[in-house]
Amino acid sequence: MSEKVKFFFDTEFIEYPNTIDLISIGIVCENGSELYAVNGECDTTKADDWVRENVLLKMPEYDKDAGLLIGMSIDQIKEKILSYVNYNCGQDSEGRERPEFWAYYADYDWVVFCWLFGKMINLPRGWPMYCRDLKQWCDDLGNPRLPEQGSSEHNALDDAKWNKMVWEFLNLRKLHSNAISHKYPSHTTGQVIEMQKDHFIKYSDKYKF
Ligand SMILES: [Mg+2]
């Protein structure tokens, strides 16, 4: 079984009864490549005050006089994501793509993401029908304080980059706790553990555990 390729994403959206309307989406691949798209078909008149203040008015693509988002159609966004994921992912030996998707408090993001492709069964072949949630993983690891998100919170691409940082942070946290409690398999060398500890210490300097 081949390794999966991680994609970290975030969406901004308008939620109102019985639907979720995409405003923007940002995706960052584990290799660092990025995608950002704005939904030009979004009905921004449905936005509440919070979304208008914290999301729309901060977007250069939002024409507040016309109440419009300058962006792509849903079909264009879908095609852009398909080619971006396939390009960065490659294919396994059976020709299936092998992405793994991660988001933070992921449920609404995942629904609005899947709806780009239609129903859940319309997701591209070989893609997972679920999203991994960084918040759940954080809880499992004892709910450590996460790196600061900064002032660009609620920009979908910046939030996606932060999601990637959180994954790296939690992964080191996990490695570190394994190293401390000697949970590595017996064939794992001491050298590997030391290297991971050292990596952790450098990282902890950066993010202040
Ligand atoms: Mg966001």
Q: What does the pLDDT look like over 114-133, one tens digit per residue? A: 999 999 899 998 899 999 99
In the chain, the percentage of residues whose pLDDT exceeds 90 is 67
Do 168 and 75 belong together in one domain?
no
User: 204 CA distance to ligand 1 centroid (A)?
Assistant: 25
How many residues in total does the chain contain?
Answer: 209
Residue 178 has pLDDT above 50, yes or no: yes
- Average confidence (pLDDT) over 22-39: 97
pLDDT for the residue numbered 179: 66
User: 155 CA distance to ligand 1 centroid (A)?
Assistant: 6
Whether 145 is in a domain gets the answer: no
Q: Which residues of 57-90 are buried (b: 16+ CB within 10 A; e: fewer)?
A: eebeebeeeeeebebbebeebbebbeebbeebbe
Do 105 and 170 belong together in one domain?
no
Residues 5, 147: Cα–Cα separation, whole Å: 23
User: 34 CA distance to ligand 1 centroid (A)?
Assistant: 15
Do 106 and 180 belong together in one domain?
no
Whether 32 is in a domain gets the answer: yes
Do 58 and 126 belong together in one domain?
yes
User: 180 CA distance to ligand 1 centroid (A)?
Assistant: 34
Whether 26 is in a domain gets the answer: yes
Tell me how many domains the chain contains: 2
User: 162 CA distance to ligand 1 centroid (A)?
Assistant: 10
Do 110 and 161 belong together in one domain?
no
User: What CATH number is associated with residue 12?
Assistant: 3.30.420.10
Whether 147 is in a domain gets the answer: no
Quick check: 109 and 8 in contact, CB under 8 A? no
In the chain, the percentage of residues whose pLDDT exceeds 70 is 80
Do 161 and 135 belong together in one domain?
no
DSSP 3-state percent helix, strand, coil across the chain (nearest 5): 45, 20, 35
Residue-number span of the structural domain to which 70 is assigned: 5-140
Residue 191 has pLDDT above 60, yes or no: no
pLDDT bracket for residue 190 (50, 70, 90): very low
pLDDT for the residue numbered 209: 40
pLDDT bracket for residue 98 (50, 70, 90): confident
Residue 184 has pLDDT above 50, yes or no: no
Do 54 and 91 belong together in one domain?
yes
Number of CB atoms found within 10 A of residue 18's CB: 5
**Alpha-carbon distances, residue 161 vs 35, 48, 68 (angstroms):** 11, 26, 26
Residue 203 has pLDDT above 60, yes or no: no
Whether 149 is in a domain gets the answer: no
Do 136 and 84 belong together in one domain?
yes
Please enumerate in sequence order all residues whose Cβ is within 8 A of that of 130, keeping only pairs 6 or more positions apart, or say none: 110
Do 117 and 22 belong together in one domain?
yes
Do 103 and 190 belong together in one domain?
no
Residue 186 has pLDDT above 50, yes or no: no
Crossing angle for the helix pair 156-180 and 190-207, to the nearest 10 degrees: 140
